[in-house]
Structure 1
């Protein structure tokens, strides 16, 4: 089977255009940190009452403080956003592959892997 030259050039052209598009829309590290902050807030605040209940039962945190933290989780995280983002940045390893980036974040003994591609983030569940 003989492949005609215009078909090959067309396929190469489409591949190059897709590659260029992905390269230009590969999200930045700062965009990832913003995504990670929002995700942390969404994941942590609903789980905080259970976490605090355990800490209160073991007397690691006084009861009056747990009530305040439960009610103010999102506000507190927003108030310390800069510090939280710095913490996320220090605990994240970035591997940039031009077309996409792989972010590995270590938080409290757990690893979270996220792919950044085409201005989107996809978190890969750990097994």
Structure 2
């Protein structure tokens, strides 16, 4: 029993060592630009995991890595329709559950903002999405 605990402790210790940089290398990165109206909650994007039968398999996990400094990001579960150019174009008229990202600028703010999200983008694949936001009146 002591040897099992020692092995588990060693594995956990190795997992917590400063290997964060090497783990970061396996994360795909993408940057998008969005323009939004000041003070208006704006849909920035959506993500879903839908089977060939158009039914929700699961909701992809999301995490805010960098919060915007001049607004708020919300990630909510709601109905989505896959787009006509997606891998599930045949499901474009079937509402399924997905994760939808919204941004709302602070009242009166006009200018640039930025957020970084980390999400599942495939089986065992993570992606960091940098959203450069331009807030206009």
Same fold (TM over 0.5): no
TM-score scaled by length of structure 1: 0.28
TM-score scaled by length of structure 2: 0.27
Q: Answer with 1 or 2: which has the greater Rg.
A: 1
More helix by percentage? 1
